[in-house]
Amino acid sequence: MCTVCGCSEGEVRVEPGSGHDHKPQHAHHHEHHHQHSRSHSHEHSHDHHYGLGPARAHAPGLEQSRMVQIEQDILGKNDQYARANRARLTGQGIFALNLVSSPGSGKTTLLTSTLTALREQIPLAVIEGDQQTSQDADRIRATGVNAIQVNTGKGCHLDAHMVGHALDSLTPERGSILFIENVGNLVCPAAFDLGEAHKVAILSITEGEDKPIKYPDMFAAADLLLLNKIDLLPHLNFDVARCIEYARQVNPALQVIQVSATSGEGMEQWYQWLRLNRQNRLIGHATDVSAEARRA
Amino acid sequence: MHEMSLCESVLQIVEEEATRQRFSRVKWLQLEIGVLAGVEVEAMRFCFDVVARNSLLQEAELDIVQPGGEAWCMQCAQTVAIAARYTPCPHCGSYQLQVTGGDQMRIKELEVE
């Protein structure tokens, strides 16, 4: 991260919208520390460019060996941004979910089905995280829901700082449900709080029932597990009960809903979960609810 | 590979500290990475070497201590040692455990000049 503005380093891009461009404002010099080459495209003024690397801080002073106690959390900065995001989202009655899964779990299909089913009833918005391309955001926008793509470049997860900037550009409506689709990865996103209300893990039954104990951190961090592609059960050798048992070994409080985005099975339960938890968030936001009632 | 991001955060924190506490080089750095933190220590070492290059951490010796996992067992009403998140209480076999230690990722101490 850049020590001047706190921006994350790397090839992160948030598209489109906000004219937030950090690069020219930096008086200090950024250097590369990685073996891989990084190409930064600067043609598009609407892209977010994060510093190319940590600033070189030179501290003149005594050249005398000494011990320094630091005692700081390595993710302290991320957690600080996450707290700011959470305060902002809570303040606006926005119910934010961080969707995490392996690549290929059917996360985007599940999300597009959800958006299509709920868009007439509830204001919705999506932050779409991928390493490259805006294909998923394009799929989301095809449903008519406002979406912003964040490309993490070489990064394997979204962090709270990227989400903060994405929120600046996306400006979700008060009282909306914000879906943050994380990079497909069952390991790294577990450690990074984005300021969401809940992490929702999506696991498809084509993946193997022991995933919850193979990747325990993610299932420990999640509050809800969507067991997806349940329509394929007759064709697979997947033990649903065993999978749920494993998941609850890691996280006894984990809620589980079995769904199929393709056949629609179980989806109503998931929508019900969304409606109930969003309503819960809206307590104290009476004006938003009445505005919605007027619209309906 | 979030170890790369973690190492970059370490460098950032150390650089901020360098300005505040007036040092220009780190000779030794101790990190505390709990066994339940989801961090691969070998990957961490590899990434540290890459990130440290041309920085005040360049020649720093990296020491990683790995505190063991600890959890509060609801059944036994006591703190128990666990090796992983999916293991039961070693005393009663219950999975009603609340992790209370071993998931930390902290910078502890530096030797600087």
Across the interface, do A74 and B9 touch by the CB < 8 Å criterion?
Answer: yes
Across the interface, do A9 and B107 touch by the CB < 8 Å criterion?
Answer: no
CB A158 within 8 A of CB A13: no
The arithmetic mean of pLDDT across residues A124-136, rounded, is: 90
Give the residue from chain A lying closest to B104, CA to CA: A73
Q: What does the pLDDT read at residue B39? A: 92
Top-level CATH class of B3-112? alpha beta
Give A68's contacts in chain B (Cβ within 8 Å).
17, 21, 23, 109-112
Q: What does the pLDDT read at residue A47? A: 33
Give A156's contacts in chain B (Cβ within 8 Å).
1-2
- What does pTM read for this prediction? 0.80
Q: Are strands A255-258 and B97-101 parallel, antiparallel or unpaired?
A: unpaired
Give B18's contacts in chain A (Cβ within 8 Å).
57, 59
**Quick check: B105 pLDDT over 80?**
yes
Across the interface, do A54 and B1 touch by the CB < 8 Å criterion?
Answer: no
* Local structure of A82: helix, strand or coil: helix
Strands (E), chain A: 13-15, 66-73, 95-101, 124-130, 146-151, 177-181, 198-204, 224-228, 255-258
Which amino acid, one-letter code, is at B72? Answer: W
Any chain B CB within 8 A of the CB of A283? no
Give the residue from chain B lying closest to A64, CA to CA: B113
CB A169 within 8 A of CB A193: no
Give A67's contacts in chain B (Cβ within 8 Å).
109-112
Any chain B CB within 8 A of the CB of A37? no
Average pLDDT, chain B: 94
Phi then psi for A169, rounded to 5 degrees? -80, -40
How close is the nearest chain B Cα to the Cα of A102, in Å?
14
Query: Element (H or E) spanning B26, and its range?
Result: strand B26-33
Average pLDDT, chain A: 81
Cβ-based neighbours of A219, under 8 Å, separated by 6 or more: A201, A211, A212, A225, A247, A250, A251, A254
CB B34 within 8 A of CB B103: yes
The arithmetic mean of pLDDT across residues A203-232, rounded, is: 95
Q: Give the pLDDT confidence of B13-31 residue by residue, as tens digits.
A: 999 999 999 999 999 999 9
Report angle CA A227, A231, A236 to the nearest 5 degrees: 85
Phi then psi for B19, rounded to 5 degrees? -70, -45
> Given B4, B22, B31, which is nearest A59 (Cβ)?
B22
**Quick check: B4 pLDDT over 60?**
yes
Look at A29 and A132; give whichever has higher pLDDT.
Answer: A132
ipTM of the complex: 0.86
Q: Give the pLDDT confidence of A4-14 residue by residue, as tens digits.
A: 334 544 556 77
Give B82's contacts in chain A (Cβ within 8 Å).
none
**Quick check: A35 pLDDT over 50?**
no
pLDDT grade, residue A285 (50/70/90)?
Answer: confident
Q: What does the pLDDT read at residue A295? A: 54
Across the interface, do B109 and A67 touch by the CB < 8 Å criterion?
Answer: yes
Cβ-based neighbours of B28, under 8 Å, separated by 6 or more: B60, B61, B63, B110, B111
Across the interface, do A57 and B37 touch by the CB < 8 Å criterion?
Answer: no
The arithmetic mean of pLDDT across residues A244-249, rounded, is: 96
Across the interface, do A252 and B6 touch by the CB < 8 Å criterion?
Answer: no
